[in-house]
């Protein structure tokens, strides 16, 4: 029997545009205040009730390092809220979110946030959205926009009403008696609980004492908890929960099933085919001590050697994806506390130990000091990435009197008003207007172009940071750009 289920809503957008603050207001809680640096770093799922209708929210991280986690959020959702700050407009992660939304082919609503602030530019923001191929209804398009303030709550009820109406139009129905399929949106290994999987049920019913299987991991549900930490007996389609009882923590994006049920493989949900992550790293609950085949060994060039330990798999994945594979060699990675074996591998400073949201106690610090082990602790990911990027830059090839400050890859080449524009994405460091530049093809410097303009969209800018994109024009009229070329920014050593 098909029953109406709760819609699954994903909140997306640029960092600091108020995604978590919006969810915080809706839930009347204080999620944002508890996050390190005020930035959401794990995917969370929460359910509310509005006008007698349950709505499930996924809050995806906004920082660029979490693009894969944000993309996965779009894959499990029915409807997306794209949050754009009225005082800041369309930014790099906004564009990235728009791309993920369009790739996932889900309907979405634009929430223009921070309308309580002075000096707003609402028409400019709406124009920027139009340039990004998001045409609002008032401009003749089909995308609805709601102006809100997550701080005061103005417009939030209208946003929830819009969600409810769109959910009704989607006619979301499911059979609670169907075979179970629950998508893993986060997992970890906790000291008092063991392996924990946070899931949203897509079909069927998840229940206590149910036998489960995900990939090659099995287990029996010992305890189910909702987002408030309360024990529950069952979870229906569209609802989130934490599962305790699996033998290992499953990969984010994988699908948990009932081990005792029969599944029609031809009718399997798309997640069973594409939900499991394509990984260049093998993530495990314990550190993987076999040397990984990471395609890192590209010659005898010196590299930073790392062991990376993080609290949860989603964060570990985001860190690994942010590393430059040409300058970093990840010896091992895993979820959980630093172990004695980690210390042995990192002895005498040969390998740097990264502990992200993993507490290093005084005993471990003393042992590390005696063994000459270097441990760096972080709880905000972009601090970690910035530090590593600075170390990476020191290893890049340069002439003896040059200091490399950044590298970008040419992704697109197009002509406008007679000028050749190189569309680039910064891989490491940053590009600044004041820098000098090399144009490299492979390892060969083929030109030393002189920068004319640096733009993002129609705006002229002074810098492009790591993982961000922009357009460059140069004063050299006959530059032979090719897609895949590298633009190296550098300064002369004084």
Find where tokens 């009229």 sit: 477
More confident residue, 461 or 268: 461
Q: Is the pLDDT of residue 349 over 90?
A: no
Are 62 and 18 within one domain? yes
The number of helices, as runs of H, and strands, as runs of E, in the chain is 11, 31
Instruction: Look at residue 52 in the predicted model and tell me its pLDDT.
Output: 86
Q: Of 62-66, 263-267, 328-332, which one has max mean pLDDT?
A: 328-332
Whether 288 is covered by a domain: the verdict is no
According to DSSP, residue 180 is labeled P
Q: 3-state DSSP call for residue 191?
A: coil
Whether 248 is covered by a domain: the verdict is yes
Whether 295 is covered by a domain: the verdict is no
Q: What is the mean pLDDT of the chain?
A: 82
Are 51 and 160 within one domain? yes
Quickly list H helices, 195-353.
Answer: 271-274, 313-321, 340-345
Q: Of 233-242, 292-301, 345-354, 464-473, which one has max mean pLDDT?
A: 233-242
Spatial contact of 133 and 98, defined as CB atoms under 8 Å apart: yes
Q: Is the pLDDT of residue 291 over 90?
A: no
Give the pLDDT band (50/70/90) at residue 342: confident
- What are 76-110's pLDDT values in tens digits? 889 999 999 999 899 888 888 898 888 888 899 99
Lowest mean pLDDT among 158-167, 215-224, 466-475: 466-475
Residues in Cβ contact with 419 at an 8 Å cutoff, skipping those fewer than 6 apart: 473
- Of the chain, the end-to-end C-alpha distance in Å amounts to 75
Q: How far apart are CA 372 and CA 359, in angstroms?
A: 19
Instruction: Look at residue 325 in the predicted model and tell me its pLDDT.
Output: 73
* Last residue within a domain, chosen from 366, 395, 424: 395
CATH number at 485 reads 2.40.30.10
Whether 294 is covered by a domain: the verdict is no
Give the bridge partners for 332, in sequence order: 307
Mean pLDDT along residues 201-221: 94
Are 200 and 160 within one domain? no
Q: Is the pLDDT of residue 298 over 60?
A: no
Residues in Cβ contact with 80 at an 8 Å cutoff, skipping those fewer than 6 apart: 9, 10, 11, 12, 74, 97, 101, 106, 107, 108, 109
Q: How far apart are CA 388 and CA 322, in angstroms?
A: 10
Q: How far apart are CA 430 and CA 405, in angstroms?
A: 6
Spatial contact of 401 and 378, defined as CB atoms under 8 Å apart: no
Residues in Cβ contact with 303 at an 8 Å cutoff, skipping those fewer than 6 apart: 296, 326, 327, 328, 329, 395
* Last residue within a domain, chosen from 110, 139, 173: 173
Are 26 and 162 within one domain? yes
Domain count, the chain: 4
Are 432 and 361 within one domain? no
Structural domain boundaries, residue 439: 402-492
Whether 486 is covered by a domain: the verdict is yes
Are 114 and 82 within one domain? yes
CATH number at 326 reads 3.40.50.10050
Give the bridge partners for 53, in sequence order: 50
Give the pLDDT band (50/70/90) at residue 287: very low
Find where tokens 């490491």 sit: 428
More confident residue, 37 or 222: 222
- What are 151-174's pLDDT values in tens digits? 999 999 999 999 999 999 999 988
Mean pLDDT along residues 286-302: 38
Whether 247 is covered by a domain: the verdict is yes
Instruction: Look at residue 120 in the predicted model and tell me its pLDDT.
Output: 84
Q: How far apart are CA 231 and CA 8, in angstroms?
A: 22
Are 20 and 154 within one domain? yes
Whether 361 is covered by a domain: the verdict is yes
Q: Report the percentage of the chain scoring pLDDT > 70.
A: 83
* Last residue within a domain, chosen from 274, 294, 322: 274
Mean pLDDT along residues 32-43: 63
Mean pLDDT along residues 4-14: 90
CATH number at 71 reads 3.40.50.300
Are 146 and 53 within one domain? yes
Q: Report the percentage of the chain scoring pLDDT > 90.
A: 34
Q: Is the pLDDT of residue 224 over 80?
A: yes
Whether 293 is covered by a domain: the verdict is no
Are 139 and 159 within one domain? yes
Q: Of 157-171, 284-298, 448-462, which one has max mean pLDDT?
A: 157-171
Spatial contact of 55 and 6, defined as CB atoms under 8 Å apart: yes
Are 168 and 191 within one domain? no
Are 70 and 211 within one domain? no
Please give the biggest Cα pair distance in the chain.
Answer: 75
Mean pLDDT along residues 287-301: 36
Are 9 and 134 within one domain? yes
Q: Is the pLDDT of residue 268 over 50?
A: no
């Amino acid at each position: 029997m098909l029953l109406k289920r709760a819609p699954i809503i994903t909140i997306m957008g640029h960092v600091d545009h108020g995604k978590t603050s919006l969810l915080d207001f809706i839930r009347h809680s204080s999620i944002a205040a508890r996050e390190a640096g005020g930035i959401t770093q794990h995917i969370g799922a929460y359910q509310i009730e509005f006008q007698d209708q349950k709505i499930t929210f996924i809050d995806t991280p906004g920082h660029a390092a979490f693009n894969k986690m944000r993309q996965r959020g779009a894959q499990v959702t029915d409807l997306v809220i794209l949050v754009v700050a009225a005082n800041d407009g369309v930014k790099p992660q906004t564009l990235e979110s728009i791309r993920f939304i369009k790739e996932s082919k889900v309907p979405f609503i634009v929430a223009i946030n921070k309308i309580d602030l002075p000096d707003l530019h609402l028409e400019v923001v709406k124009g920027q959205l139009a340039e990004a191929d998001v045409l609002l209804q008032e401009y003749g398009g089909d995308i609805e926009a709601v102006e809100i303030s997550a701080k005061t709550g103005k417009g939030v009820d209208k946003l929830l009403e819009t969600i409810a109406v769109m959910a009704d139009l989607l006619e979301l129905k499911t059979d609670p008696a169907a075979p179970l399929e629950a998508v893993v949106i986060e997992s970890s290994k906790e000291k008092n609980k063991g392996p924990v999987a946070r899931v949203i049920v897509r079909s069927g019913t998840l229940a206590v004492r149910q036998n489960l299987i995900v990939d090659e991991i099995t287990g029996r549900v010992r305890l189910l908890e909702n987002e408030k930490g309360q024990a529950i007996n069952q979870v229906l389609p569209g609802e989130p929960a934490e599962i305790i009882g699996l033998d290992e923590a499953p990969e984010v994006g994988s699908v948990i099933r009932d081990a005792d049920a029969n599944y029609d493989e031809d009718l399997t949900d798309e997640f069973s085919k594409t939900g499991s992550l394509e990984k260049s790293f093998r993530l495990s609950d314990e550190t993987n001590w076999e040397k990984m085949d990471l395609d890192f060994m590209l010659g005898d060039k010196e590299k930073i050697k790392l062991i990376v330990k993080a609290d949860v798999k989603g964060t570990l994945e985001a860190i690994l994806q942010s590393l430059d594979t040409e300058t970093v060699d990840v010896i091992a990675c895993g979820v959980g506390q630093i172990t004695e074996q980690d210390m042995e591998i990192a002895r005498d400073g040969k390998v740097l130990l990264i502990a992200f949201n993993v507490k290093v106690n005084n005993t471990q610090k003393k042992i590390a000091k005696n063994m000459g082990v270097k441990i760096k602790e972080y709880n905000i990911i972009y601090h970690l990435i910035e530090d590593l990027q600075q170390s990476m830059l020191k290893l890049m090839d340069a002439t003896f009197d040059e200091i490399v400050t950044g590298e970008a890859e040419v992704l697109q080449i197009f002509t406008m008003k007679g000028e050749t524009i190189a569309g680039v994405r910064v891989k490491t460091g940053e590009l600044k207007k004041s820098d000098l530049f090399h144009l490299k093809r492979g390892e060969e410097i083929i030109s030393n172009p002189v920068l004319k303009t640096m733009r993002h969209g129609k705006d002229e800018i002074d810098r492009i940071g790591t993982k961000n994109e922009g357009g460059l024009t140069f004063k050299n009229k006959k530059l032979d750009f090719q897609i895949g070329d590298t633009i190296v920014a550098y300064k002369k050593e004084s």
